[in-house]
């Protein structure tokens, strides 16, 4: 369908029925994967799970603690296993940490078994949004603007492998969630 009118409940139910795989949100820290993901799951009447929360629960540690005590490669191993399990469990919407889709094995799995959606956003907005919380190990050792600019350059071509891309500006997350649903409907 074309996006000429807002999605109504019947549209949402029809599109939700066509979605036969988990919707996996990828993109940089601060693009709003978790907030948009929750809204998306509500609109589709499916469950939502945040991969970082699942990793922390499995490790019984926070994400900064995992980085501090065991290092990033250990975190990536856990992330790979947890995301594989979440996809296997068939959750409706899964938000991933910004580096998950950069890992070749995790990326291949998501592309094969899920619907990957890249949420993109300009770096200035990401700098503002990520400044609100101090829980991101990769932003602690340096200037967040420089780090996010570098990560956007390095990771952009990888995120671009997701079949669906949606921009999230400073507008309501509901709008981004609805754009994602329209884009999935057109892509399926
Ligand atoms: C990371 C992003 C974080 C978290 C970890 C590493 C990354 O998740 O997984 O700090 O490599 O970009 P968010 O994207 O939810 O902040």
137 lines ligand 1 (CB under 6 A): yes
pTM > 0.85: yes or no = yes
pLDDT in tens, 71-90: 999 999 999 999 999 999 99
Q: Which atom of ligand 1 is nearest to the CA of 130?
A: 16
Q: Which atom of ligand 1 is nearest to the CA of 55?
A: 9
Structural domain including 57 reads 18-187
- The verdict on residue 48 lying in a domain is yes
Kindly tell me if the per-residue pLDDT of 117 is higher than 80.
Answer: yes
**Closest CA to ligand 1's atom 15:** 97
Quickly state the pLDDT bin for 170 (edges 50, 70, 90).
confident
Top pLDDT among 22 and 133 is at: 22
- The verdict on residue 114 lying in a domain is yes
pLDDT in tens, 118-142: 999 999 999 999 998 878 999 988 9
Average pLDDT, the chain: 94
- The verdict on residue 36 lying in a domain is yes
**Closest CA to ligand 1's atom 10:** 136
Q: What is the CATH number of the domain that holds 97?
A: 3.40.50.300
Kindly tell me if the per-residue pLDDT of 4 is higher than 80.
Answer: no
Domain count, the chain: 1
Q: 3-class secondary structure for the chain?
A: CCCCCCCCHHHHHHHHHHCCCCEEEECCCCCCHHHHHHHHHHHHCCCEEEHHHHHHHHHCCCHHHHHHHHCHHHHHHHHHHHHHHHHHHCCCEEECCCCHHHCHHHHHHHHHHCEEEEEECCHHHHHHHHCCCCCCHHHCCCCHHHHHHHHHHHHHHHHCCCCEEEECCCCCHHHHHHHHHHHHHHHC
| Least-confidence region, from 39-48, 73-82, 169-178 | 169-178
Task: Measure 27 CA to ligand 1 centroid, in angstroms.
Answer: 9
- The verdict on residue 75 lying in a domain is yes
- The verdict on residue 130 lying in a domain is yes
- The verdict on residue 7 lying in a domain is no
139 lines ligand 1 (CB under 6 A): no
66 lines ligand 1 (CB under 6 A): no
- The verdict on residue 106 lying in a domain is yes
- The verdict on residue 178 lying in a domain is yes
């Amino acid at each position: 369908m074309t996006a000429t009118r807002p999605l109504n409940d019947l549209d949402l139910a029809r599109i939700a029925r066509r979605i036969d795989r988990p919707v996996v949100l990828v993109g940089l820290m601060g693009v709003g994967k978790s907030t948009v993901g929750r809204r998306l799951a509500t609109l589709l009447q499916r469950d939502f799970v945040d991969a970082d929360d699942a990793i922390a629960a499995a490790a019984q540690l926070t994400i900064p603690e995992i980085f501090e005590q065991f290092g990033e490669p250990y975190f990536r191993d856990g992330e790979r296993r947890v995301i594989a399990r979440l996809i296997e469990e068939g959750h409706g919407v899964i938000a991933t940490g910004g580096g998950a889709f950069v890992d070749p094995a995790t990326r291949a799995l998501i592309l094969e078994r899920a619907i990957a959606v890249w949420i993109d956003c300009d770096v200035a907005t990401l700098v503002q949004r990520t400044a609100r919380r101090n829980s991101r190990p990769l932003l602690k050792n340096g200037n967040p603007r420089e780090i996010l600019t570098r990560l956007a350059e390095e990771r952009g071509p990888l995120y671009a492998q997701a079949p669906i891309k949606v921009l999230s500006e400073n507008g309501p997350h509901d709008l981004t969630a609805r754009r994602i649903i329209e884009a999935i409907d057109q892509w399926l």
